[in-house]
Amino acid sequence: MEQWGWVAQQQPIPLAMGERLYTIYQFRDLLNHQGAAFIRPDLSLAGGITNVKKIAAIAESAYVGVVPHNPLSCVLTAACVQIDAATHNIPVQEYPYDDNKGIKAELVKEPLKRVGGYLEVPTRPGIGIELNEEAFKHYPPVPYERPPLINPDGSLRDY
């Protein structure tokens, strides 16, 4: 985390970081080292709505914004929208380009609506969506193996 602090201090632009962090303690460590102007918790990795709400509160105390990481599906988008509506230090929400069409949209009976570049907060119970269980039968999980990415010097890198 010290290195993230150093990198952030060397940049003239605000950095966003944290989509691979999992715990409140990792985010606190990043914030203590001033390693990001925006943190990127992923609700599916960092403990869901409740834990990300705690992470956002810690970020607020450090004057840092939160931009939830959202690479998966319309189900995660619906969870993100709930925390977005309840947290004021979230300036923008990542939104997958294919969230409202194709296989991802079929996973729910009615995807969230986008109006003028904004996602509407649903008023239905829970996170505001209803799963289309029939669609899950047509798209079973497909296991695959991701080989590690190894740099020429032998170090590992992320996808």
Average pLDDT over residues 7-12: 94
Min mean pLDDT across 25-39, 97-111, 112-126 is at 97-111
> What topology is assigned to 2-140 in CATH?
TIM Barrel (3.20.20)
- Of 81, 74, 89, 88, nearest to 37 by C-alpha is 89
Q: What is the pLDDT of residue 159?
A: 67
Model confidence over 71-104: pLDDT tens digits?
888 899 999 999 999 999 999 999 887 777 778 8
pLDDT tens-digit map of 37-71: 999 999 999 999 999 999 999 999 999 999 999 98
Mean pLDDT in residue range 27-33: 97
Residue 51 backbone zone (phi > 0: left; psi -120 to 50: alpha; other: beta): alpha
CA–CA dist 17, 65 (Å, integer) = 11
